[in-house]
Structure 1
Amino acid sequence: MTLQDSLTGKSAHERAFSRTNTGRASTEHFYANLKPFDNFSQITHFDRYLPLPRDWFIGVADVVQSTTAIKTGRYKAVNTVGAAVLVAITNALPELCFPYVFGGDGATVAIPGKYLDEVKYALARTAAWADDTLDLVLRVAIVPVSAVRAAGHDVRVARYAASENVSYAMFTGGGMAWAEGQLKKGEFKVRRAPLNAKPDLSGLYCGFGPIPTEQGTILSIIAIPVEEQRSYAALVADVLALIEFSSRRSGHPLPEGGPLPAWLGGKVQRLLDKHSSHAHLLTAIADALRAIKTRFVLSAGIRMGQFKPRKYRREISNNTDFRKFDDGLKMTVDCSPDIADAIEARLVSAQLSGVCVAGTHRQTSAHLTCYVPSNIRSDHVHFVDGADGGYAAAAAKLKVGKTAVMAGMAAARAVDTPAAP
């Protein structure tokens, strides 16, 4: 059975879901009704992924020329824009539970058609804010799920519980990758809002500095399946086993007790805190003092009212999205150089065998960008990426490998195809 077959056939999970969730009105709560799983090794149990309702849409956004921005040391700003997409939509739809994935230099969401106008408005304003405030061009598209399926792909989703407080969406079916390809072609485009339009980015926090590796390497990994399901599942199991048994805390890139923010919060955070692009010097000083206070409170563990700093820092680590499945395995892990070598060797072998296309990137620290709607609640979410290119750099290397793999497969098919008489 091919991977495509496994993603289009109805599973027992899907049939049961269909019996209890019929009709257009029920699709709004489709994702909220999915039962999360908490064992990450089950991400290749594809029968637990259910198809998005036909009246849903995919919102996809990425930073144009992010590679250039990375080379000039602006990856923190790139990450911030990617997270801002998710924050803007969450704030626009505070009561809606919807699936999303952070991609480093962008983000992808899936939303019911009922909320199309609100999401389009939030994305247009986020694109304007990225350009006007951070001088980064964010391209945005909204793609109907019906268009994805008409093109021969699907979007199926599951929920992975990273902790008891936070779950993240896992996507398969090839539809998200296809939607991103349409974005880059300029299809289904959403234009940016007028000058100085701003989304609601309340709760967006990017005051952490680079988080250094504890084991030698922060490794960004992307491995996208090509065809056969069983071999790809074995590959994922092998990669996870290498990390699980040779790295502390399954390769988690953050310290168990949680990271500490930078003393001054960082340049991007100060831009977010300003009330205008021409904020007075006193405002900048106030921002710096607030950042110093935050660092001191978290470091000393000083309880302030209902806020419990040590608990909050542990939750930062527990609630982080350092591993995911977004039409393929994506991870940012802390491991030794030897384990990084072993993982890369396994991925190269799988790529040469036509099982996957893959890309990795090594760095010595990680970036963290956060959405904290309240510091006394436990459902704050944290998006992690490598600090020196991360997923964007791994994806660039994957593109090179993909070209070679596809050429090899085409050549093999040509050899196996008998010549016409």
Structure 2
Amino acid sequence: MAARGDISGFYDSLPRLSDFDALTRADSYTPLPQDWVIGAADIEGSTQAIARGQYKTVNMVGAAVISAQINGADGRDFPFVFGGDGAAFAVPPEMAEASAQALAAVQRWAAEEFGLVLRTAQVPVAEVRAAGREVAVARYQVSEDVDYGMFSGGGITWVEAQMKAGAYALPPAPPGTQPDLTGLSCRWANVQAEHGVILSLVIEPVVDVTSADFTRLAERVIDIAHALDREGHPVPRSGMKTRWPPPGLDNEAHATRKGRALAWRRLQLLFNTFIAWFFFATGLPLGQFRPEAYRQQVTRNADYRKFDDGLKMTLDSDAATEARLRAELDAAQQAGIIRYGLYRQDEAMMTCIVPSVMQGNHVHFIDGAAGGYAQAAAQIKAAPAT
């Protein structure tokens, strides 16, 4: 995001890497400063929520964790990663208190608006290292306006495990607390796979596997994905499509009503989204806003692959490439290098954080539309230990 920068200067000083392949290498990452803190959140019972048809809501809540952090950061950059049913991030010490408050506010909002239990935790980097894990970060630049944080070292995974065990939990926010979710939306229609199937892939290194072994496996997986049209990018060249009313209107109303009547906020959004739909449907400019240029920015800025103590990808794949991926991953799992989940669905979906349509720094999280990363991760949990 466009930013003033963190006061310590650490994150601002990191190079922006435009080559995704480079992120497989350990030397692309820099350890976080000792006084930074890790924040994490995920939805308890997300598999059951998906079975009830709530995955778009689950995605919205996961993205809300990041949205609240961005809006509370006063324009400063920090690394974050979206995981489908949750998120993780790191902030410098001067942001820790505000970050905890924003995280607790999203937890309260998720419970009151959707009946979802959001687990939260905040852990000092020093304690992660004391437990024998590292938290290192890189910046992957997807366009001239947007870069995403990438994590390695096992620390994020350790924090998430501690959170699920009930450790480092944040105190709940008071009833009625509303997070600042300005810019959070999910107005684009789901996109059908063009080449066969949308694959949601989650690969986790086995504890104590060497970084060299995991790097070689990640390089082979990425090489296989390179053979796909546009490296498996699930958003078509023509960009995402709109329809009216948008599929995420109710979720956006819950996210942005700020204590107002839900019915009134829905009516406001129906009007606002109709105007937006008209200009996207016709391609007509509105002042300096060019719908087609914005649509192409959305495609460039899309977050469809990432490193998060492992490799996560949402790919539009043909059958032959899917078979190659499965064979490679099965062999690596049998060799004791990784555990993985690979979930198939017909569509991908997008959840967005858009500070302003007139700026290029809008971020867009891609996931499979029928459970995506959450279902792939559930396969890992259900699989017998190797």
Matches of 1:400 and 1:345 in 2, distance apart? 20
Cα offset, 1:337, TM superposition = 2.4
Matches of 2:309 and 2:377 in 1, distance apart? 13
Q: What is the correspondence of 1:348-387 to structure 2 with a 5 Å cutoff?
A: 348-387=330-369
Cα displacement string for residues 359-383 of structure 1 (whole angstroms, at most 9, x for unaligned residues): 1101111121000001010110001
Distance 1:263 1:108, change over 3 A: same
The Cα RMSD (Å) is: 1.6
Counterpart for residue 237 of structure 1: 219
Cα offset, 1:297, TM superposition = 0.9
The one-letter code matched in structure 1 to 2:241 is L
Counterpart for residue 92 of structure 1: 72
Matches of 1:107 and 1:391 in 2, distance apart? 12
Counterpart for residue 378 of structure 2: 396
Cα offset, 1:271, TM superposition = 2.9
Counterpart for residue 255 of structure 2: 272
Counterpart for residue 254 of structure 1: 235
Matches of 1:269 and 1:27 in 2, distance apart? 32
Whether 1:143 and 2:123 are equivalent positions in the alignment is: yes
Counterpart for residue 180 of structure 2: 200
Asked whether the 8 Å contact 2:232–2:317 carries over to 1, the reply is yes
Asked whether the 8 Å contact 1:323–1:332 carries over to 2, the reply is yes
Matches of 1:239 and 1:131 in 2, distance apart? 38
The one-letter code matched in structure 2 to 1:86 is I
Secondary structure of the residue aligned to 1:60 is strand
Counterpart for residue 56 of structure 1: 36
Matches of 1:196 and 1:346 in 2, distance apart? 49
Cα offset, 1:275, TM superposition = 5.4
User: Normalising to structure 1: TM-score of the pair?
Assistant: 0.86
Asked whether the 8 Å contact 2:189–2:240 carries over to 1, the reply is no
Asked whether the 8 Å contact 1:27–1:53 carries over to 2, the reply is no
* One of 3, 9, 28 as aligned partner of 1:29: 9
Whether 1:76 and 2:56 are equivalent positions in the alignment is: yes
Cα displacement string for residues 1-31 of structure 1 (whole angstroms, at most 9, x for unaligned residues): xxxxxxxxxxxxxxxxxxxxxxxxx972211
The one-letter code matched in structure 1 to 2:194 is E
Asked whether the 8 Å contact 1:368–1:382 carries over to 2, the reply is yes
Counterpart for residue 347 of structure 1: 329
* One of 74, 77, 97 as aligned partner of 1:117: 97
Counterpart for residue 288 of structure 1: 270
Asked whether the 8 Å contact 1:319–1:381 carries over to 2, the reply is yes
| Long gaps (5+) in structure 2 | 1-5
Cα offset, 1:338, TM superposition = 2.4
Secondary structure of the residue aligned to 1:404 is coil
Report the more deviating stretch, 47-56 or 236-245. Answer: 236-245
Asked whether the 8 Å contact 2:254–2:262 carries over to 1, the reply is no
Structure 1 consecutive aligned stretches of length 4 or more whose deviation exceeds 6 Å:
none
Asked whether the 8 Å contact 1:264–1:289 carries over to 2, the reply is no
Whether 1:334 and 2:316 are equivalent positions in the alignment is: yes
Matches of 1:285 and 1:229 in 2, distance apart? 52
Matches of 1:140 and 1:29 in 2, distance apart? 27
Number of residue pairs matched by the alignment: 377
Whether 1:315 and 2:328 are equivalent positions in the alignment is: no
Matches of 1:392 and 1:300 in 2, distance apart? 36
Cα offset, 1:249, TM superposition = 0.9
Asked whether the 8 Å contact 1:129–1:196 carries over to 2, the reply is yes
Cα offset, 1:283, TM superposition = 4.8
Secondary structure of the residue aligned to 1:124 is helix
Asked whether the 8 Å contact 2:347–2:369 carries over to 1, the reply is yes
Asked whether the 8 Å contact 1:140–1:191 carries over to 2, the reply is no
Asked whether the 8 Å contact 1:61–1:107 carries over to 2, the reply is yes
Secondary structure of the residue aligned to 1:121 is helix
Secondary structure of the residue aligned to 1:180 is helix
Cα offset, 1:228, TM superposition = 2.7
Matches of 1:346 and 1:299 in 2, distance apart? 42
Cα offset, 1:98, TM superposition = 0.4
Matches of 2:201 and 2:38 in 1, distance apart? 24
The one-letter code matched in structure 1 to 2:124 is P
Asked whether the 8 Å contact 1:133–1:277 carries over to 2, the reply is no
Cα offset, 1:57, TM superposition = 0.2
Secondary structure of the residue aligned to 2:244 is coil
Matches of 1:340 and 1:299 in 2, distance apart? 34
Between Structure 1 and Structure 2, the one with more helix by share is 1
* One of 216, 235, 260 as aligned partner of 2:196: 216
Cα offset, 1:285, TM superposition = 3.4
User: Normalising to structure 2: TM-score of the pair?
Assistant: 0.94
Asked whether the 8 Å contact 2:253–2:265 carries over to 1, the reply is no
The one-letter code matched in structure 1 to 2:255 is L
Cα offset, 1:277, TM superposition = 6.0
Give the greater-gyration-radius structure (CA): 1
Q: What percentage of residue pairs aligned between the two structures are identical?
A: 41
